[in-house]
Amino acid sequence: MGAAIADHKTWVNFFGYRCGSKGLLRTCEGSKFVQFFNVQSKALNMLRGVARLNAAGAAELANFLAENLEKLQTPTEAYRIVSEKPLKAVDPDTAVLWFNNLLPFIYEVLPSAVDGDEVATGLVHSAQAAAKADGNEFTGSALKKLRANLLTILDNATVRIKAKAMRLLATHERALSQCEIFSDIRPVFKTDGKIEVESAVVYHTLRIEHTGSDDTFSIALDSHDLKRLKKAVERAIEKESALSTFIAGAGIGEIKLS
């Protein structure tokens, strides 16, 4: 279910990029042959769904990606956005399932492609190869429709430029995945050893999830990340004010750290 994928922190790529191992393949040196991709079963199901879209549905999906691509960095964000701005041709759960297969491909492959036609053609050939192995090949008309719909989606100028921008952002060693601020009150006990609260201090813990693996880091932030961080900080400031009021109401003093 798309709702289940929305709980994941990152997208899972069900395409494998293959280069230079068969005859009709674009080699690593960049010949003009067709690119082939290892289309796994979940990606094949997505491509079958894309093939069933009419022209208006494909255009709607392309326009949605063009408007929101930079915001769809995690399944959680994608599910929220597609629920708030539902597509006519695809329900939110199905859309997130499709995004789980399509977005990593857009982020990784599309920016380096010569054009959308090159990628669409490669995907059509790859989809048919996977479908043949699955025992349920695409019909000629379905392949034609799949190619047209993929071209609508992948050759959208805004989708392509945003995909390139996202690829550039991903070249940083670490990028922000999610952040939360936890606010707490810590009691300060009397200095004479008595177990009595004399004062209290409010403090906050900023937890940052990022794409790196170590604890010492710097993080690249885009404008969307800054807005999320700003919202979290503003909420922490409001919570500090509320907690300070709570402390005052308890009749104890508060130690201000700043």
Q: What mean pLDDT comes out for the span 155-182? A: 78
Could you tell me whether strands 253-254 and 197-210 are parallel, antiparallel, or unpaired per DSSP bridges?
parallel
Share of the chain above pLDDT 70, in %: 77
pTM: 0.64
Quick check: 34 and 113 in contact, CB under 8 A? no
Question: For 22-36, 45-59, 197-211, 214-228, which range has the lowest pLDDT when averaged over its residues?
Answer: 22-36
Between 29 and 210, the higher pLDDT residue: 210
- At residue 201 the predicted structure's pLDDT band, cuts being 50, 70 and 90, is confident
Residues ≥6 apart with Cβ < 8 Å to 69:
106, 158, 159, 162, 163, 166
The answer to whether residue 26 scores a pLDDT higher than 50 is no
**Per-residue pLDDT reduced to its tens digit, 83-126:** 999 999 999 999 998 988 888 778 777 777 667 787 888 889 88
Residue 217: predicted pLDDT: 58
